[in-house]
């Protein structure tokens, strides 16, 4: 078998399938396993307990597949095209660019499955493989760096000249030897610290190190409980994810738009109406965010974020919706609504909070309400 020719055909077919770049590395132990363990030991993963599981597989991808020889790494640009947001009544929120369209897991997984089928056909022999898109214990950014697809930025994202950092990473682990790419060694950042300086919550204790507990993306997606009160003002109008450290990066200034139609923003998601979202039922949430990354936050998580964004906006136009939301079935939502009302203040707010306090049966919500009363 001509491994070089087969590897070249794999890379070309990946691009033909809609992937933006493909690299290949040997399935050997990870170079970043120790640094990853140190990161976990410092508690920087927060409540993301799943990141500590399957440590031996993360340290060595060959343990994920018997006889594994090669790891194919692919990138797909998700940067949405410029989109004129629909005019919304009242305050609006922001959703991270990657989550404004359809769920990337399904899209990228299908492309990788097609590439694996191509490999099996071209190899002319039985090939066993596994596809991963955020779902397996693979240190994907390190794998992409080793495959020559980019290098780490100080905001911990993988940077690539061209699409910058607006791309997803997926992998195919196979039990066939291929020809491998060389690691990216170019320093992408130099003396630039724009991403570190721009982070409103100071989530980077050092360059190339992220404390997820302070990250707006973590707080609005992964965190299942209350958002830390001290960090709520810094969350601004972000209601799902955050792009600040990417938007200020010079590599992303002229990042091309994705050619994948499924990543184009859905109607109303470029600048979603906070009042419309706050008044939505579970049925509304399920219908609107079907096959969307936003569903990961669940309704109560999204409405928690919406309440915080409304509190940060301090727009009195939100008072009727917030007062109504004091009767939301989810205690966590009611606690954050009380905080938002306290940020707006005024006689109407005080009257609504006192009325809600007289009818509230949940002790944690009652405490949150009383905290906002004069």
List the chain domain ranges: 1-269, 273-374
State how far the Cα of 301 lies from the Cα of 293, in Å rounded to an integer: 13
Residue 167: strand pairing partners: 77
* Tokens representing residue 219 in the block: 């707080």
The whole-number pLDDT of residue 84 equals 61
Residue 1 pLDDT exceeds 90: no
Residues marked as catalytic: 134
What does 273-301 look like in DSSP terms, one character per residue?
A: BHHHHHT--HHHHHHHTTTSGGGGGHHHH
The whole-number pLDDT of residue 223 equals 97
The whole-number pLDDT of residue 340 equals 98
The whole-number pLDDT of residue 184 equals 78
The whole-number pLDDT of residue 136 equals 85
Q: Which of 235, 323, 238 is nearest to 278 (CA)?
A: 323
The whole-number pLDDT of residue 90 equals 86
- What does the mean pLDDT of the chain come to? 95
Tell me the mean pLDDT in the region 282-300. 97
- For residue 268, count other CB atoms closer than 10 A to its CB: 16
Residue 214 pLDDT exceeds 70: yes
Q: For residue 125, is it left (φ>0), alpha (ψ between -120 and 50) or beta?
A: beta
The whole-number pLDDT of residue 24 equals 98
State how far the Cα of 28 lies from the Cα of 200, in Å rounded to an integer: 38
Residue 78 pLDDT exceeds 70: yes
The whole-number pLDDT of residue 86 equals 62
Q: Are strands 238-240 and 94-95 parallel, antiparallel or unpaired?
A: parallel
State how far the Cα of 34 lies from the Cα of 40, in Å rounded to an integer: 10
Tell me the mean pLDDT in the region 225-233. 98
Residue 96 pLDDT exceeds 80: yes
Contact assessment for residue 68 and residue 129, using Cβ atoms and an 8 Å cutoff:
no
Residue 291 pLDDT exceeds 80: yes
Q: Which of these CATH numbers, 1.10.1200, 1.10.10, 1.25.10, 1.10.1660, describes 273-374?
A: 1.25.10
Q: Which of 283, 274, 333, 276 is nearest to 309 (CA)?
A: 274
pLDDT band at 89 (very low <50, low <70, confident <90, very high): confident
């Amino acid at each position: 078998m001509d491994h070089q020719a087969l590897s070249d055909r794999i890379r070309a077919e990946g691009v033909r399938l809609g992937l933006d770049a493909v690299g290949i590395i040997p399935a050997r132990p990870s170079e970043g396993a120790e640094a990853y363990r140190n990161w976990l030991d410092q508690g920087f993963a927060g409540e993301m307990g799943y990141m500590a599981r399957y440590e031996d597989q993360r340290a060595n991808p060959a343990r994920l597949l018997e006889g594994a020889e090669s790891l194919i790494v692919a990138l797909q640009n998700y940067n949405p095209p410029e989109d004129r947001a629909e005019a919304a009544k009242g305050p609006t929120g922001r959703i991270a660019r990657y989550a404004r369209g359809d769920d990337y897991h399904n899209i990228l997984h299908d492309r990788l499955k097609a590439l694996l089928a191509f490999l099996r056909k071209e190899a002319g022999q039985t090939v066993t493989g596994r596809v991963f898109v955020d779902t397996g214990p693979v240190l994907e950014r390190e794998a992409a760096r080793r495959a020559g697809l980019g290098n780490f930025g100080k905001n911990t994202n993988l940077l690539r000249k061209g699409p910058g950092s607006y791309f997803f990473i997926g992998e195919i682990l196979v039990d066939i030897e291929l020809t491998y790419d060389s690691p990216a060694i170019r320093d992408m950042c130099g003396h630039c610290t724009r991403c570190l300086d721009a982070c409103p919550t100071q989530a980077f204790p050092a360059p190339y190190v992220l404390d997820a507990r302070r990250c707006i993306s973590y707080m609005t997606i992964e965190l299942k409980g209350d958002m830390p009160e001290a960090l709520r003002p810094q969350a601004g109008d972000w209601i799902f994810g955050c792009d600040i450290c990417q938007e200020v990066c010079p590599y992303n200034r002229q990042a091309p738009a994705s050619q994948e139609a499924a990543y184009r923003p859905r109607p109303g998601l470029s600048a979603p109406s906070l009042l419309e979202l706050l008044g939505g039922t579970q049925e509304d949430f399920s219908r609107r965010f079907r096959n969307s990354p936003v569903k990961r936050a669940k309704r109560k998580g999204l409405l928690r974020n919406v309440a915080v964004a409304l509190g940060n906006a301090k727009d009195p136009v939100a008072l009727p919706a917030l007062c109504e939301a004091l009767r939301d079935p989810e205690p966590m939502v009611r606690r954050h609504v009380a905080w938002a009302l306290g940020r707006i203040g005024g006689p109407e707010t005080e009257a609504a909070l006192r009325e809600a306090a007289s009818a509230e049966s949940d002790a944690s919500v009652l405490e949150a309400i009383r905290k906002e009363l004069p």
